[in-house]
Amino acid sequence: MIRPAHHRLLAALAALALGGCNEGPRIEGLPQTIAFGPAPRPAVNESTATVTATASSGLPVLYGSRTPDVCSVGAGTGLVRGRVSGRCTIAASQAGNTRYAAAFPVTQEVLFTFQGVIEFGPAPSLRVYDLGTVTAVETTGQSVAYAGTTPSSCSVEGATGLVAAIAPGDCTVVASAGDLHATQTFVIAPAAAPTVPGAPSGVSATAGDTQGMVKVRFGALEAGGSPITGYVVSSVPAGASGTGGSLPVTATCPNSCTGYRFVVAATNSVGKGPSSGPGDIVTRYAVLATFREPDTQPNDSIFVGTYTFNASAGTVSALRGKLSESMTGGSTPYPDDTMTWLTLDHQLSAQPVTLDGADGWLVTTFRLDVTDTFTRDPKMGGTDGWAPGSGNALHFGYPGANPGNAYAMIFVNAAAPTAAPTQGQINRMAYADCTPGGMMGGTCMTGTSEQGYGTFGSMGGHPVSQVTTRQ
């Protein structure tokens, strides 16, 4: 059986055979080179620039982005659009014609710098002993850290912005994102007359360090004019509980915490206050999936991404990340590779499954905001346009235009997301790459297992591992 990876070689041999029979146009193969003009220098927060390259043959040059997560480029115009701060690498190519041989591609870098501003939400209204949260966002999406500069009146948690009111006076919080800094100042009022604490608000939970444990916290609490002496956590439905004197409070579940929600009540010298409303267990995870590519070693197809798992509601959301193109890059493998990476930002499928006794989901994120990836033509094995192993890996719309979609599919274990997957779970992982860097004629690069989908990938690619960690 001939692999699609060998189609190019066969096509070249066929072309030589035709040439020997004096059929088809004669190709002279004259050399040509490509040269870029001066590199543009976009100003800070300028999102577009234009690169210009010319071929010595005078033939038109085509442009492509080697760093699609940083920038895109018009193939015929050279108009570059920056997406995030970083070095954008643009490649120029010229495929040749009946007179000129293809030119060796050349690259040029364009540096994009985006800098936003930090914007605060409303300041909390606090009395002594109360807890509240300062919130700030950086407008380009950088993460924000917090610090207090008035320790005599308040303390501030760096990661969350949770403020503990200590004494009357001004409380100043500094929010930082990269080189940006902004401050918010508000007044801590004297303590109220002693009473039981109010109900905490903004309750949330995240997975703990081991299975069957969660960490519960909240965003605000009226302390009742007296220092808080402890917290009591319970679950809805009943069955999990925990106590603690500070946040977060660790609660223990009978086995898995999946399906539980959590409430918190605070205690001071006067007594125990009412319980909060229930909060879900929402945890963010990082995932690294590897697909072995026997024909492109040392480079494999790698998916690096993140997702959010709501263990209370049983939902997986916001799976997104980057997929490497193993046919690109040099001789240094991941993570120090020079492969081209595709951005996959659109989670469009989460299929419930039970694999090797574990309930979970096969979750798929796509390059485009549609699932159209493979041909739907049943004569070519097409089904729904994207199912792993369908369509003989021919691109969607074949033999017409290729929309250039790509996807990665991972397994999420509902009870234990960070547990090492079994071989049966690994077998159901998959990827597809129908962008120009992943094409062999009309065939997309794919990664599937014979055990999971009845066929290996189009170049023998198949899943070998998935590592999930809690962020």
Cα-based distances in Å from 471 to 165, 174, 207, 246, 307: 29, 24, 10, 21, 10
What is the pairing mode between strands 346-355 and 358-366? antiparallel
Which DSSP state fits 192? P
Q: Which H or E run contains 22?
A: none
State which amino acid sits at residue 54: T
Burial class (CB in 10 A: 0-12, 13-18, 19+), 136: buried
The residue count for the chain? 471
Mean pLDDT, rounded, for 218-245: 97
Tokens standing for 390?
């369908």
Q: Which H or E run contains 308?
A: strand 301-310
For residue 437, give the 3-state DSSP assignment. helix
Q: Which of 70-74, 169-173, 383-387, 466-470 has the lowest average pLDDT? A: 70-74
Q: Residue 169 pLDDT more than 90?
A: yes
| 304 phi/psi in degrees, rounded to 5 | -120, 120
Which tens digit of pLDDT belongs to each residue from 247-297? 999 999 988 899 999 999 999 999 999 999 999 999 999 999 999 999 999
Rounded distance, CA 53 to CA 37, Å?
6
User: Which residue in this structure is represented by tokens 């902004």?
Assistant: 182
Which tens digit of pLDDT belongs to each residue from 360-400? 999 999 999 999 999 999 999 999 999 999 999 999 999 99
What is the pairing mode between strands 126-127 and 180-189? parallel
Identify whether the C-beta of residue 94 lies closer than 8 Å to the C-beta of residue 57.
yes
Identify whether the C-beta of residue 157 lies closer than 8 Å to the C-beta of residue 196.
no
Secondary structure, 3-state, 327-389: CCCCCCCCCCCCCEEEEECEEEEEEEEEECCEEEEEEEEECCCCCCCECCCHHHCCCCCCCCC
Q: Per DSSP, what are the bridge partners of residue 254?
A: none
Q: Per DSSP, what are the bridge partners of residue 147?
A: 174
The residue ranking higher by pLDDT, 280 or 85, is 280
Q: Which residues contact 466 (CB under 8 A, 6 or more apart)?
A: 287, 288, 289, 290, 410, 411, 421, 425, 426, 429
Rounded distance, CA 325 to CA 17, Å?
32
Mean pLDDT, rounded, for 168-178: 96
Q: Residue 24 pLDDT more than 50?
A: no
